[in-house]
Structure 1
Amino acid sequence: MAETDETRQAWSRRQLLIAGGGAAAAAVAGGGAGWALRRPAETAQPAAEPAAAPPRYRSRPDLNALPQVTVTTAAAGAASGYVFLTPASGKGLWGPLIVDDAGEPVWFRKVPDPATVAIDFKAQRYRGKPVLTWWEGTIGGTGGQGVGQGEFVIADQAYREITRVRAAGTEQADQHDFVITGDDTALFWVYDPVPRDLSALGGPADGVLHDGLIQEIDIATGRVVWQWRASDHVDLDESYAPLPQGESAKLPYDYFHANSVGVDADGDILVSARHTWACYKIARRSGEIRWRLGGKRSDFPLDERSTFSWQHDVRRRRDGAYSLFDNGAGVTKERDYSRGLVLRLDEAARTATFVREFVQEQRVSAPTQGSFRELSDGGSFAGWGQSPHFTEYAPDGTVRFGGHLPLDNQSYRAYRMDWEGLPTDQPALGVRVENGAVIVSASWNGATKVARWRARAGGQPGRDTLAAVAETARTGFETTLTVPGTPEYVVAEALDAAGNVLGTSSAVPVRI
């Protein structure tokens, strides 16, 4: 069946990943970099079926398809906390994922089917308490550039959903960013398709523009507190993105492609627009642009080291400098490698000074996605977007921690963050009999205080009738204990560092 404009618009990020983003982008918009993974050629012969591997997690077989994270660098002095990812590929499980410094899962939640993905998973604070936030929805767009339609999830330390934040009106929230402010409001983007005469740019007079709309929503009530529209302040000729061509000419023109929003130290708003190669500081009260950094109308002259393109994730650092993730590649390739970039601005004198760049050890190029953030000790953490790597840097720029998802994978952003998880469900238990002994596999998805595991066994399922028969240190997401003999029932107890019982699994019968 031939593709129509409607079917092209409906491509989700998952479909782009599975089908190969670059090819999909070319079909939709005549070129451009997409959320790219390659699909094997349809004529290729299937490989021989490999021998069945043992289950990865016997206590949680539902997580056996979870992508494995490989740690490649683990030097002394790495920052505290965990790595937050949203793995995405044409196979495996999709959802927010926390891993530890060994690459072992700490918590994972599968997002709902069908065609729903998770994006921008991080820890924030809401009503004075730690929470997890992420976006769920579907992603399509023109030119392979992801445009999201979905909503944001806020969950507490027990991983219970507190609320979902939705865009006001008929629009759906875009995936690129979600910031909870100190006033318990949420800042995020909406990609709003609006009619626009594009003939001055060589497009149709009855064209459609994908406008960038910031909404600030009171989380408790859903009320719009503040709103800002890109096309009221940024002209279309500032864009570097090509118009959709040919049969796709009437698809929305994504001239701005907003991909980050945040609050500057003075309360004004910082945003990044990938397709204008520019970052903007916006007056919170009036909505006027205080300055442009980068792009065709930069208020700050930039030398070769400071020039960036197709960027993401502009943020203010504690020392007053600004950082961003310079993709250096997108619809075009302007730099051989992507980088974290730090610049110091003199807003009065309108000068920008190059401070430092942070490069991945293999000098990877990420045509889409990516993040770069300051850590609490002055170090920095980069997620390499379309390239599945993440890297932590010391304040002097040396690499002190790093790793990657499987090479057919990607994560829109990657963060290093502190988190304490206190799940209210029970630990999970898997039991098997081998060589006259019972092998107990124990895990507790999301529990961050477990230091040891204890197995109890006996002839009756009640805790008072089950004797402690084995104990060992936690060894990762799943820990294995060996129980001698063949008791009728076993349970597993999760212990903290002081030996206190944090949680107990259900009693599981031993089947011989």
Structure 2
Amino acid sequence: MTDAKLSRRNLLLGVGGAVALTAAGAGAGYAIADSKDDAGVPAAAPQAGPAKYRSRPDLRTLPDVTITTPANATAPGYVFLTPASGTGLWGPLIVDDKGSPVWFRKVPDPATVAIDFKVQQYRNQPVLTWWEGTIGGTGGQGVGQGEFVIADTSYREITRVRAAGSEQADQHDFVITPNDTALFWVYDPVPYDLSALGGPTDGVLHDGVIQEIDIRTGRRVFEWRARDHVTLAESYAPLPEGDSAHLPYDYFHANSVGLDADGHILASSRHTWTVYKIDRKSGDVRWRIGGKKSDFAVDERSAFSWQHDFRRRRDGSYSVFDNGAGITKQREQSRGLVFKVDEAAKRISFVSEFLHPEKLSAPTQGSFRELADGGSFIGWGQKPYFTEYAPDGTVRLAGHLPLDNQSYRAYKAEWAGAPLDQPAMGLRAEGGNVIVSTSWNGSTKVAKWRARAGGQPRALTQTAEADRTGFETTLTLPGTPEYVVVDALDSAGKVLGTSSAIPVRV
């Protein structure tokens, strides 16, 4: 395991938030600007366009999250997204029930995308995990090459998990087991004779490989290869043709992996329309549900296609995000699907489905998870929406990213973040007053902000307070003091963090 050090580079990348300097290098914050100008931009690093947050002008292109159904008796927690759009500002994003950002980290070079951002447990402690890397593929199907990040409650990087051997980890899933091992997929292109399917004899096959890695040591403890257990005849995906004939044939397209209650592996293959239970010791397929070789009779309401995110629920039922669309369209709407498995009778029975009020059809991506209170949460993948449902199926929270965005998955989970950097601050002059804009990327305990001002950095007698109002809070100080400091306060009035003293300069 590689312990992360809180270096200046890590801070600037957003591991604990951002540290920005005034032209004079006075500390965290931004130099004052006239209200007619692009206020809040460091004098040493001018940028074009208006600042969304004066305290964090580096987040000017962070996408807005719109809440369409306000929170009503929702499960506690925050929403976890990985926005991806043409802005180039990609990375893991936490927002609250009002759509306001709580924490964001831009993906550092050379990675281009962050995927599958969620809360897990590692060494009995809550952690954040996500995938970073690049995504390519054939036929519009994303195949990732990258690695997984694990960060602690201070947003410090604990370690990175990489695939064993020469392969790179795929983005589709990352599950930390109770034994502190990690389950994930690798897409391995292998030479393959595809002539029996009408392809080239010197073709290439994308093999879906499950790896289980001991996180501390990086040692591989289990590996499973789809082509040893699943034939090409089970696929619904067409062969690449023409100039693309020698590109890898993605016959399987794995997209989720996890554990059943008995410790065996659950996996989903989008291109075979099948979910699998895999023996964790032998690698044998214990059963298939769906597709061309289902071991169970599947009733019409439980049939799924091009699916994602196969999971066991607490009551013993199973859930899957049924895209119903992909290379072909089988259903008019995507849905969250819950069904029961009768292993003795070899029969699947429908339990419930969760649809979006706008009848969304998501040809790619998506997630469907049970919440702690029995509700459910859906991320609609290629469609940039998320929806929280009560146990009875009613919508109790709904929202979306800008419509030119997407988020591979969306989750809701409880999280307590305590960044190690200082709060950020932006100042501007307006009407004979100093307007203070302040934020603290990643802090979840701030209830109120206090600005202190005066003629000397250690003699700040003028104060103003305001309740936290989303990611950034604005306070007004009369006149033009020489220096300003902000304090972040919790609900009891305790100081959680203090900015550096920033000189007020017009």
Q: Is the 8 A contact 1:490 1:508 kept in 2?
A: yes
Calculate the TM-score normalised by the size of structure 1. 0.89
Structure 2 partner of 1:475: 469
Cα offset, 1:76, TM superposition = 2.2
Structure 1 partner of 2:331: 335
Deviations 1:55-97 (A, max 9, x none): 2100000001100000111242111000000000112510000
The alignment status of 1:422 with 2:418, answered yes or no, reads: yes
- AA paired with 1:369? Q
Structure 2 partner of 1:40: none
- AA paired with 1:501? V
Structure 1 partner of 2:45: none
Aligned-partner Cα distance in 1 for 2:71–2:402: 21
Deviations 1:436-482 (A, max 9, x none): 000000000000000000000001112xx112510010000000000
Q: Tell me which of 390, 395, 402 is aligned to 2:391.
A: 395
Q: Tell me which of 300, 322, 325 is aligned to 2:321.
A: 325
Cα offset, 1:504, TM superposition = 0.4
Deviations 1:109-140 (A, max 9, x none): 00023561000000101111111000000000
Q: Tell me which of 239, 242, 252 is aligned to 2:238.
A: 242
Structure 1 partner of 2:367: 371
Structure 1 partner of 2:82: 86
Q: Tell me which of 228, 232, 240 is aligned to 1:232.
A: 228
Q: Tell me which of 154, 161, 178 is aligned to 1:158.
A: 154
Structure 1 partner of 2:299: 303
TM superposition outliers: structure 1 runs of 4+ over 3 Å: none
Cα offset, 1:54, TM superposition = 4.6
Structure 1 partner of 2:219: 223
Structure 2 partner of 1:201: 197
Cα offset, 1:150, TM superposition = 0.2
Structure 1 partner of 2:449: 453
Correspondence list, 1:51-450, <5 A: 54-114=50-110, 116-450=112-446
Cα offset, 1:285, TM superposition = 1.1
SS at match of 2:204: strand
**Which consecutive unaligned segments of at least 5 residues does structure 1 have?**
1-51
Aligned-partner Cα distance in 1 for 2:271–2:90: 28
Cα offset, 1:397, TM superposition = 0.4
Matched pairs, number: 459
SS at match of 2:257: strand
Calculate the TM-score normalised by the size of structure 2. 0.90
Correspondence list, 1:1-40, <5 A: none
Aligned-partner Cα distance in 1 for 2:117–2:402: 19
Aligned-partner Cα distance in 1 for 2:103–2:176: 22
Aligned-partner Cα distance in 2 for 1:396–1:325: 18
Aligned-partner Cα distance in 2 for 1:109–1:55: 17
Q: Is the 8 A contact 1:454 1:468 kept in 2?
A: no
Structure 2 partner of 1:29: none
Q: Is the 8 A contact 1:67 1:92 kept in 2?
A: no
Structure 1 partner of 2:483: 489
Relative to structure 1, the CA distance from residue 140 to residue 53 in structure 2 (aligned partners, 3 Å threshold; closer, same or farther) is closer
Aligned-partner Cα distance in 1 for 2:473–2:437: 6
Aligned-partner Cα distance in 2 for 1:243–1:256: 12
- AA paired with 2:289? L
SS at match of 1:411: coil
Q: Is the 8 A contact 2:71 2:98 kept in 1?
A: no
- AA paired with 1:310? W
- AA paired with 2:395? V
SS at match of 1:254: coil
User: Which of structures 1 and 2 has the larger relative contact order (alpha carbons within 8 angstroms, sep 6+)?
Assistant: 2
- AA paired with 1:408? D
Deviations 1:373-416 (A, max 9, x none): 00001100000000000000000000000100001100000000
- AA paired with 1:459? G
Structure 1 partner of 2:498: 504
- AA paired with 1:480? T
- AA paired with 2:483? Y
- AA paired with 2:165? G
Aligned-partner Cα distance in 1 for 2:490–2:446: 5
Aligned-partner Cα distance in 1 for 2:343–2:454: 72
Q: Is the 8 A contact 2:191 2:205 kept in 1?
A: yes
- AA paired with 2:218? G
Aligned-partner Cα distance in 2 for 1:176–1:115: 16
Aligned-partner Cα distance in 1 for 2:321–2:461: 55
SS at match of 1:231: helix
Cα offset, 1:300, TM superposition = 1.4
Q: Is the 8 A contact 2:111 2:132 kept in 1?
A: no
SS at match of 1:410: coil
Aligned-partner Cα distance in 2 for 1:172–1:348: 40
Cα offset, 1:53, TM superposition = 7.3
Structure 2 partner of 1:13: none
Cα offset, 1:348, TM superposition = 1.8
Aligned-partner Cα distance in 1 for 2:265–2:145: 23
Q: Is the 8 A contact 2:71 2:97 kept in 1?
A: no
Structure 1 partner of 2:28: none
- AA paired with 2:108? P
